[in-house]
Chain A
């Protein structure tokens, strides 16, 4: 299947006939291997990973915590529901441009990743809590099971069923939005910054090589998270 798409890419590149517009796969892979031999590549990739994973973690924590707050407090829910809707509906570019005036370049991808993740986790955790089996909750009440026990054994499995798929989807969102934020904010040592530089200097093979790298890391992270979540489910 991969061979088919590589062939399509090669044919398109031949059709365009200009490397500066669309480089063929072989040139791009050669460029990627060359980049991988430099310290700058690993530094940029490491820093980007760190920023996005930090933002992802923050988004997961905030989304989950706020879901519990909204479950306990109607006022909090009334206040936060429109806020989360606005965050979800606002184009990521608007947030990035706004943050260019408000935050340091290094932190913009972190905040953007967190903003992408938080509403998704919030909505799914809240749904998980609300869709907890009422029959089991009544059983817990009649059997005088402690609140902690009920959270672990009754609410927990229900929330988990909504939380885990949302966590996987959110990781992809965080990665894409975080790299986009880096392109505009261009913090030091960043994959997004490298993409921007390649675009400025019309380095199409380099730009595609970084894109391949972004796609590869995204798929790798998703695979790792899915595997970890499968273990948690068991």
Chain B
């Protein structure tokens, strides 16, 4: 579905990805692992269209409903949690259900600034899920969540995205491993070819 062909990316003259070739299938889940700075976030940003590759090309079907949970929560500070979650679709029913599942229903009317880090994280996840994407990119989605919440959140994400494509970069691989169809280990340049497990 999304094909990366010999993709390379540099930042300030430093190569982050050198020659990345991979086909992401429409109905599979991927767990990206690798040391900090290996290029996981760069890869997700390239897939999201937020960065252009310096070399190679990315082939995406059009239209493609792709959404992302960023490393930062990126919630609109002036909107309530509920309005943040339903901002794209306007589907209050789905938004409230997701908030309930993520144990955030009591905060639906609150502004993001009043939430803890973990709550904001879950609100950002709910927003991405509420958009009902075909492809969901997750960049460290479990930051700020305790182990039990990480497990429940992972179950919800992969349950909602069943039969669709999830690409998740996390420092908590154990929560995702059970759901991921493929494991991609990204190694820093010059050995950044994905190791598929």
Chain B residues with Cβ below 8 Å from A154 are 76
Among residues of A, the one whose C-beta sits closest to the C-beta of B127 is A143
Q: How far is the CA of A154 from the CA of B127 in the complex (A)?
A: 16
Chain B residues with Cβ below 8 Å from A157 are 77-78
A135 sits at the interface (CB 8 A) = yes
Within 8 A of B (CB), among A132-188: 133, 135-136, 138-139, 141-145, 153-154, 157
Are B68 and A142 in touch, CB under 8 angstroms?
yes
B72 sits at the interface (CB 8 A) = yes
Determine how close the nearest CB of chain B comes to the CB of A151; give it in whole angstroms. Answer: 13
Are B50 and A141 in touch, CB under 8 angstroms?
yes
Q: How far is the CA of A142 from the CA of B88 in the complex (A)?
A: 11
Are B74 and A138 in touch, CB under 8 angstroms?
yes
Are A141 and B76 in touch, CB under 8 angstroms?
no
Chain B residues with Cβ below 8 Å from A135 are 70, 72, 74
Q: Interface size for chain A: under 10, 10 to 19, 20 to 34, or 35 or more residues?
A: 10 to 19
Q: How far is the CA of A92 from the CA of B70 in the complex (A)?
A: 50
Chain B 94-128, CB within 8 Å of chain A: the 1/0 string?
Answer: 00000000000000000000000000000000010
Given contacts A135-B74, A153-B76, A157-B78, whether A143 and B50 have CB atoms under 8 Å apart is no
Q: Interface size for chain B: under 10, 10 to 19, 20 to 34, or 35 or more residues?
A: 10 to 19
Among residues of B, the one whose C-beta sits closest to the C-beta of A160 is B78
Q: How far is the CA of A157 from the CA of B113 in the complex (A)?
A: 15
Determine how close the nearest CB of chain A comes to the CB of B103; give it in whole angstroms. Answer: 23
Chain A residues with Cβ below 8 Å from B50 are 138, 141-142
Determine how close the nearest CB of chain A comes to the CB of B137; give it in whole angstroms. Answer: 8
Are A143 and B76 in touch, CB under 8 angstroms?
no
Within 8 A of A (CB), among B74-97: 74, 76-79, 87-88
How many pairs of residues, A versus B, come closer than 8 Å at their CB atoms? 34
Chain B residues with Cβ below 8 Å from A144 are 88
Chain B residues with Cβ below 8 Å from A139 are 70, 74
Are B78 and A143 in touch, CB under 8 angstroms?
no
Chain A residues with Cβ below 8 Å from B79 are 153
B67 sits at the interface (CB 8 A) = yes
Are A138 and B78 in touch, CB under 8 angstroms?
no
Chain A residues with Cβ below 8 Å from B68 are 142
Given contacts A141-B49, A145-B88, whether A136 and B70 have CB atoms under 8 Å apart is no
Q: How far is the CA of A139 from the CA of B79 in the complex (A)?
A: 15
B131 sits at the interface (CB 8 A) = yes
Chain A 93-115, CB within 8 Å of chain B: the 1/0 string?
Answer: 00000000000000000000000
Chain B residues with Cβ below 8 Å from A141 are 49-50
Among residues of B, the one whose C-beta sits closest to the C-beta of A154 is B76
Q: How far is the CA of A59 from the CA of B135 in the complex (A)?
A: 47
Among residues of B, the one whose C-beta sits closest to the C-beta of A143 is B88
3 shortest interchain CB distances as A-B pairs: A139-B74, A135-B74, A142-B68
Could you name 15 residue pairs across A and B whose Cβ atoms are closer than 8 Å? A133-B74, A135-B70, A135-B74, A136-B74, A138-B50, A139-B74, A141-B50, A142-B48, A142-B50, A143-B67, A143-B88, A144-B88, A145-B88, A157-B77, A157-B78
Which residues on A are within 8 Å of B, measured CB to CB?
133, 135-136, 138-139, 141-145, 153-154, 157
Please give 20 more A-B residue pairs, beta carbons under 8 A apart, in addition to A135-B70, A138-B74.
Answer: A135-B72, A135-B74, A136-B74, A138-B50, A139-B70, A139-B74, A141-B49, A142-B48, A142-B49, A142-B50, A142-B67, A143-B87, A143-B88, A143-B127, A145-B87, A153-B76, A153-B78, A153-B79, A153-B87, A157-B78
